[in-house]
A and B are shown apart, each in its own frame.
Chain A
Amino acid sequence: SQTIHQWPATLVQPVGSPLSLECTVEGTSNPNLYWYRQAAGRGLQLLFYSVGIGQISSEVPQNLSASRPQDRQFILSSKKLLLSDSGFYLCAWSVLLNEQFFGPGTRLTVL
């Protein structure tokens, strides 16, 4: 069966510090991978998606970037965090029919 991992689970970072969040999927090959952000009390905002290694599509211009160095690994990064980057970051995967399955998420607080 498929499993998706995200780490860390929670993170508190100062403004201006770098960020690296990692997501890995097990039990499937060539998944589509997604990064979402959910601000407190808000809906899910798609940040990036990837249909293959090295292929990244950005949905919202901002100070975040994403990379996919391996088939089942997706990384979200920032060089300098802003207060507005606080939120619940979710990684998701899909293979068929756009059914997306979410990881446990990383709760980021930028102070």
Chain B
Amino acid sequence: QKEVEQNSGPLSVPEGAIASLNCTYSDRGSQSFFWYRQYSGKSPELIMFIYSNGDKEDGRFTAQLNKASQYVSLLIRDSQPSDSATYLCAPSSNDYKLSFGAGTTVTVRA
């Protein structure tokens, strides 16, 4: 069974701070890694993905991947109240499927 572990939170950060979200996965065959944001009552939306070890930046978001440690993280810089949501980590092997973690809830306080 492919397990994906995320701290459930809530992670509370002040506006303008950096939010750091962590994710570990059990399937060593995972090749690609996706981060989704889900607002309460809404469907998940893809915010970024990463395939290679190291960092990938997209606007205020940075994904970090370490396949040897089976660890992927998401940093949100200059956090805004609109970033308050649940963030889902989803590794994927080459089998058309994603394995979702339960998500980390982030609250950005003004």
Contacts and interface: CB of A to CB of B under 8 A. Distances in A.
A43 B96 contact: no
Interface string A38-64: 000011101001010000000000000
A105 B43 contact: yes
A98 B42 CA distance: 21
Contacts of A100: 34, 46, 90, 98
Given A49-B96, A94-B96, A98-B32, A44 B46 contact: no
Contact of B34 (A46, A51, A99): A99
Place the interface of chain B in its size category.
Answer: 10 to 19
A49 B97 contact: yes
Given A97-B32, A100-B46, A102-B43, A44 B96 contact: no
A30 B82 CA distance: 35
A97 B102 CA distance: 22
A44 B34 contact: no
Interface in B59-110: 88, 90, 92, 94, 96-98, 100-103
A102 B42 CA distance: 10
Interface string A85-111: 000001000100111111111000000
B49 A99 contact: yes
Interface string A3-32: 000000000000000000000000000001
A46 B97 contact: yes
A44 B34 CA distance: 14
B32 A44 contact: no
B92 to A, nearest CB: 4
B16 interface: no
Contacts of A42: 102
A44 to B, nearest CB: 4
A50 B8 CA distance: 30
Contacts of A43: 88, 100-103
